[in-house]
């Protein structure tokens, strides 16, 4: 049985923002970034416990070829993607953002 995958607005925004940043540096890299992020999402969908726990209930799967992590939780029969953050970002700030986002309504 597969779990439902919900991507919060914050995570969609994070991916779009990162894609634009890469595209402004080199044409075509936004699409490549999005494909790699989608592959990480597919991995999460197939193997929800693949990502190690990072903060409380939040797990992280790395985006291949890019320095980003997809942060998500498993809640019953649902996987919720809360954010996609650059790996150089302060871990305390990531934790703060994740905790504040987990209280927001889903997209």
Residue 106 located in a structural domain: no
CATH of the domain at 78: 3.30.2310.20
Read off the pLDDT of residues 19-61 as tens digits, 9 standing for 90 and up.
999 999 999 999 999 999 999 999 999 999 999 999 999 999 9
Burial environment of residue 91 by CB neighbours within 10 A (0 to 12, 13 to 18, 19 or more)? exposed
Residue 107 located in a structural domain: no
- pLDDT surpasses 90 at 76: yes
pLDDT of residue 1: 56
Residue 45 located in a structural domain: yes
User: Mean pLDDT for the chain?
Assistant: 92
Number of domains in the chain: 1
Percent residues over pLDDT 70 in the chain: 93
Range of the domain at 72: 4-101
Residue 8 located in a structural domain: yes
Buried b (16+ CB within 10 A) or exposed e, 40-76: bbebbeeebeebeeeeeebbbbebeebebbbbbbeee
pLDDT of residue 106: 44
- pLDDT surpasses 70 at 107: no
pLDDT of residue 103: 61
Residue 5: which residues within 8 A CB-CB, separation 6 or more? 41, 44, 45, 78, 79, 81
The answer to whether the predicted template modeling score (pTM) of the entire model surpasses 0.75 is: yes
């Amino acid at each position: 049985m597969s779990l439902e995958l919900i991507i919060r607005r914050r995570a969609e925004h994070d991916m779009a923002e990162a894609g634009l940043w890469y595209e402004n540096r080199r044409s075509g890299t936004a699409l490549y970034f999005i494909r790699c992020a989608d592959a990480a999402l597919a991995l999460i969908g197939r193997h929800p416990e693949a990502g190690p726990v990072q903060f409380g209930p939040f797990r992280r799967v790395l985006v291949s070829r890019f320095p980003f992590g997809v942060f998500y939780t498993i809640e019953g029969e649902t996987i919720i993607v809360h954010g996609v953050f650059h790996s150089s970002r302060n871990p305390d700030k990531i934790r703060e953002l994740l905790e504040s986002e987990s209280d927001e309504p889903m997209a």
